[in-house]
Structure 1
């Protein structure tokens, strides 16, 4: 499998995306569970079919582009809102980047590391190793790059992220990812209660870090990606449940900017797994 990944990493991005589009539709057609979850989640957001249909193929592109991003040559990356990053870095309070399952969330950390991390302000991201040993080797190798650090999904990893923020560095989180039991609270997400992580809020409250919203738009015809960065409109409220709900609303606003690239098939409303 590693050999296959290396061969795929040599392919042009447009070809991987074309194959991924087919893969996305095959999964949608032949998996009833996935298809129903995909459609139900899109409907919760109030979307018509014309608004979410393209996301079927985009979900497959997400999978097929990974070998190139992990093992291949760098891909073209454009920025929209880089000034928000520069202002936040100049303040020296650290940055918590919040990225939903929108577009290519792998590219946001890589793009930051390449542009800002190598100059002395690295980004630390949470990393839970895959269960498959061969995939674990590939992913771990891909995350070992200049300006990009990883933290385990344990208490020591959280301490590592707090330390990074206090040093004026950045951390990256996917706040719409379902955390283990005991590490989240129920909060509305597109009108339905979803178990939502509290880590992002706790990091901000304990360190006074800035909060930026970011996502990587997948450009058509394999032209690369555009990293969009926005500032959080309002400061997070002090009570934890209200702050978590505010982050969910911020993620909703990002998703609705480009629902065609959201991972609607992700099991957002599943029951959390037991803590390790």
Structure 2
């Protein structure tokens, strides 16, 4: 996982934190209404988000016509706007309200059975729906550890950390010390969270197919599985627009347990695809998932010095 550099923007940070606090008490239907205004504006005026989203959708759904992909791009950016507006709700809202917004939990037995067998659980949490609501629920119902990168705006670190830890989650850094903490949590038969759809730094991944095209994918998972015999589950919080969320825990593609790193990474990407299939509009398509492929094609040098393991 690539390191994020933080920069100081105190005035911007105060404004963002104040906005989140103001939105924390709003109804989800109100936040969804705002996102339906903001999303189309982002699609129209933010060239970078629109282009990356549409390029990724073209790779994922080549059989769909251009107009259909454009509609899906607008819907995806609307859901991304909703996620940003809901951060205050997830991090600062009354815990009882956040819990009540979770309308159903599908597949919880996958977590319970693994822990009953004396195994840790690795939850693959792609950028789908509202992953902060997923973190809220997991950390409130299980001993839960997740890797954490400080936000790009340094002054938002305290707000972000407090929001993610308030239900008991343990956050660890994205470095070898953090990996050691994940291993210890799994050996205690606890749950950990991993973002499976971020490109790692050179040296910490392999190319594996994602919607049929090679994508540089982290190889941390097979190392954790091999050393702990943990079970792997995909988890998402699917937005029920304006009403709340439904959590879905899906059994992982069996290839994630392979000792071959590329085979395991292929299984990880298949897990992400299975989650996206629940509602493709709720996936954050504006992330440059194929960036390392482009770097490779353009002959950019690799920099393997930073490794997570």
Could you state the TM-score of these two structures normalised by the residue count of structure 1? 0.91
Query: What count of residue pairs does the alignment treat as equivalent?
Result: 270
Q: Secondary structure at the match of 1:204?
A: helix
Q: State whether residues 185 and 196 of structure 1, in contact with CA within 8 Å, keep that contact through their aligned partners in structure 2.
A: yes
1:92 aligns with 2:118: yes
Deviations 1:147-189 (A, max 9, x none): 3111111110000000000010010011111122221111111
How far did residue 19 of structure 1 move? 1.4
Which SS does the other structure have where 2:291 is aligned? coil
Bigger CA drift: 208-217 or 43-52?
43-52
Residue among 247, 254, 267 paired with 1:227: 247
Among 40, 65, 70, the residue aligned to 1:25? 40
SS in 1 for 2:109: helix
> In structure 1, what is the Cα distance between the partners aligned to 2:72 and 2:123?
25
Q: Is the Cα–Cα contact under 8 Å of residues 21 and 59 in structure 1 kept in the other structure?
A: no
What displacement does 1:134 show?
2.5
Matches within 5 A, 1:1-276: 1=15, 2-46=17-61, 48=64, 49=68, 52-53=72-73, 54-74=75-95, 75=98, 76-77=101-102, 78-114=104-140, 116-117=141-142, 122-221=143-242, 223-234=243-254, 236-271=257-292, 275=306
Kept in 2, the 8 Å contact 1:22–1:60? The answer is: no
Structure-2 separation of matches of 1:106 and 1:44: 27
SS in structure 2 of the partner of residue 215 of structure 1: strand
Report the CA distance between 1:233 and its aligned residue: 4.2
Over aligned residues, Cα RMSD in angstroms? 1.9
For 1:220 and 1:227, the matched residues in 2 are separated by 14
| Gap runs ≥5 in structure 2 | 1-14, 296-301
Quote how far apart the aligned CAs of 1:5 are: 2.2
Q: Contact 2:222/2:259 (CA < 8 Å) preserved in 1?
A: no
Structure 1 segments (4+ residues) deviating >3 Å: 271-276
TM-superposed CA distance for 1:99, in Å, is 1.6
Deviations 1:106-148 (CA, angstroms, capped at 9, x unpaired): 111211222x22xxxx110110011313311210111222431
Cα deviation, residue 263, structure 1:
0.8
**Is the Cα–Cα contact under 8 Å of residues 21 and 56 in structure 1 kept in the other structure?**
no
TM-score by length of structure 2 reads 0.82
1:21 to 1:200, Cα distance in 2 relative to 1, 3 A? farther
1:219-269: CA deviations, max 9, x gaps? 122x11111011124252221111111111121122122102111111111
Deviates more, 1:176-185 or 1:47-56: 47-56
C-alpha distance in 2 between matches for 1:95 and 1:161: 11
- Give the secondary-structure state (helix, strand or coil) at the position aligned to 1:11: coil
For structure 1, list consecutive stretches of 5 or more residues without a partner in the other structure.
Answer: none
Mapped partners of 1:146, 1:62: distance in 2: 19
Give the secondary-structure state (helix, strand or coil) at the position aligned to 1:257. coil
Return the offset for 1:6.
1.3
